[in-house]
Amino acid sequence: MTSTDNQSYYVPDSSPLAVSTSVAAGVLIAGIAVALNGMTFGDGGGAGWSISLVGLVLLTAVLFSWFRTTIVENRQRMASAQLKRSYVLGIQWFIFSEICFFAAFFGSLFYVRNLVGPWLGGEGTKMGGTNELLWQGFQFAWPMQITPQDAVGINNQMPANNGIYSGADQVMHWNGIPLINTLLLLSSSVTVHIAHHALKAGKKSGFNLWLAITLLLGFAFVGFQVLEYHEAYNELGLTLKSGIYGSTFFILTGFHGFHVCMGAIMLSVQWLRSIMKGDFTADDHFGFEAASWYWHFVDVVWVGLFLFVYIF
C-alpha cells in the first residue's frame, strides 16, 4: 500500500474542552448531592441547588462550544470516515456508562426491596433477629408507608423516616400518569425511528415532521412527570423525607426525567439544524443518529422504571 492509499485522519488541535467538561459535570453532581442531602435533613437544599445551577450553566456552555466546533469541522469536510467511526465508538461508550449509572440505582432498589426490607422484618436465617435489634415490631411491605410514629427502633431512627406518606396505591399507581407517560415515550421511540428512515431515504420534509412529533411527545412526558411530582408532594406527602421509598422513587424517576430533558434538547438541536441550516443528508447525519440512539436508551430505561417502580 502506497502512502497515497492511506486514509487521512484529522487530528484536532489541543483543547481544554474535555477537562472543562469533567470539571463542570463534577460541580453539577456535587451540587445535586448537597441539594438532596439538604432536602432530606437540612435547609431544603438551597445552597446545593445554587451550586448545581452553576455546574449546569458551565456544562451547557462547554458542550455548546465543543459541539459547535465539531459541527463546523464536519461542514468543512475535515472529519474523515475514520474519525466518524471514533464518534460512533464515543457515543456507544457514553450510553454504556449511562447503563451502568442506572444499573446502580436499579440494584439499590432490588437490594432494599428483596434483601434489606425482609431482613428488617425478621426474614432470613442469617439475619434472624435483626428486626428485634434494629426495628422492633417492624413489618416489611412495599411501598413502605412510614410515619414518625413508626420509627421505634434504636434511638427512634427519626432522620431516616421523618416523612408522612399516605400510600402509593391511592394515586401513584392508578391516576394513569405512569401509563400515559409509557405510551408517550414508546410512541416517541417509533416516531424518531420513522424520522431516521425518512432521512436515510432523502425525505427531509418527512424527517422534520416526524422529529417534531417526537419532540412534542418527549416534552409532553416531562409535563406529565411535573404534574405527577406536584401531586405526590402536595396530595400524598411523598417526598425525599418519606423514608426509603420516597428516596428511591425520586432518585430513579428524577434522574430519568433529567435524561429525558437532555435527550429532548439534543433532538431539538438536530431539528433546528435541519430546519434552519439544512444540515444532514442521507449519508451524513451522525449528529441526529447519536441523539436518536440516546433517545431509544431513555425509552428502554423508562420501561424498566414503569415495571419495577410502578407495577411490581
The continuous run of DSSP H or E covering 273 comes out as none
Q: Which domain holds residue 148?
A: 140-311
- The enclosing domain of 304 has a CATH number of 1.20.120.80
Q: Is residue 118 part of a domain?
A: no
- Which three three-digit cell numbers place residue 198? 425518512
- Which three three-digit cell numbers place residue 218? 418527549
Pick from 28, 52, 78: which residue ends a domain?
78
Same domain (yes/no): 149, 298 = yes
Q: Is residue 165 part of a domain?
A: yes
Same domain (yes/no): 246, 144 = yes
Q: Is residue 209 part of a domain?
A: yes
The DSSP line for 91-113 is HHHHHHHHHHHHHHHHHHHHHII
Within its chain, how far is the Cα of 125 from the centroid? Answer: 37
Same domain (yes/no): 165, 243 = yes
Q: What is the pLDDT of residue 152?
A: 42
Total domains in the chain come to 2
Pick from 78, 102, 129: which residue ends a domain?
78
Same domain (yes/no): 69, 154 = no
The DSSP line for 7-70 is PP---PPP-SHHHHHHHHHHHHHHHHHHHHHHHHHSS-SHHHHHHHHHHHHHHHHHHHHHHHHH
Q: What is the pLDDT of residue 300?
A: 96
Rounded Cα distance between 38 and 234, Å, is 19
Q: Is residue 144 part of a domain?
A: yes
pLDDT in tens, the chain (312 residues): 444 455 566 566 778 888 999 999 999 999 988 887 777 666 666 788 889 999 999 999 998 998 888 888 888 887 777 888 888 999 999 999 999 999 999 999 999 888 888 887 777 655 556 666 766 677 777 777 554 444 444 344 433 344 444 444 444 555 689 999 999 999 999 999 999 999 999 999 999 999 999 999 999 999 999 999 988 888 777 777 777 888 888 889 999 999 999 999 999 999 999 999 888 999 889 999 999 999 999 999 999 999 998 888
- The enclosing domain of 35 has a CATH number of 1.10.287
Backbone dihedral region of 117: left (phi > 0), alpha (psi from -120 to 50 degrees) or beta?
A: alpha
Pick from 78, 104, 128: which residue ends a domain?
78
Q: Is residue 9 part of a domain?
A: no
Rounded Cα distance between 24 and 298, Å, is 23
Q: What is the pLDDT of residue 126?
A: 55
Same domain (yes/no): 151, 260 = yes
Same domain (yes/no): 145, 256 = yes
Q: Whole-model pTM?
A: 0.82
